[in-house]
Amino acid sequence: MSIINFEFKAKTTELNKLEKKLSELKPTFIGEDNQTDTYFNVTKGRLKLREGNIENSLIYYERKNTADVKQSEVLLYQHNRALPVGQAGNSLKDILIKLHGIKMVVTKRRRIYFIDNVKFHFDTVTGLGTFIEVEAIDTDGSLGIEILKERANKYAAFFNIKPLDFIALSYSDLILKKI
């Protein structure tokens, strides 16, 4: 599935406060996902395998590293992880490791909400801290970039995200930078 979105990621020390603020808008709560994202070495963009109790996807994406609301182009393959990590049947991950090698593994606890086509993540990332991510998503090209950008900016203002709070890099890049 090919997806275009406008998104932002921001560092926060007030994750619970922001989540409570979102609850005022009556979002749909999807659940809490314990995710392991394995990033692979690629020459262009980012490729990661997400393994969680809610979301399991192979995700390739390209996006500029800017600390602002930004466009992302995503190719998403949702797979059914039949067996737990480390057991036979995890051949997709095994193939990717053989082909690309592991760049970085990121683990996080993510609380997921939706309002219409906007997805909200309240993340606690191992080794990095707490973040909010908001993605205005267009899965079929019917909304257009301007509407996506408008919705992402609307929620950045709603959460009172300051320019210095925006994060330009992926979690994997932040961890690599820290190392």
| Range of 59-73, 78-92, 158-172 with top mean pLDDT | 158-172
Two structure tokens written together for 47: 């490729």
Mean pLDDT of 108-129: 98
Q: Which of 54-63, 64-73, 123-132 has the lowest mean pLDDT?
A: 64-73
Domain coordinates of the chain in residue numbers?
2-178
Percent of the chain with pLDDT over 70: 94
Distance between start and end Cα atoms, the chain: 34
Classify 2-178 by CATH class.
mainly beta
What pLDDT score was predicted for residue 68?
87
How much is the pTM? 0.90
CB environment 116-125: b (16+ within 10 A), e (fewer) = ebbbbbbbeb
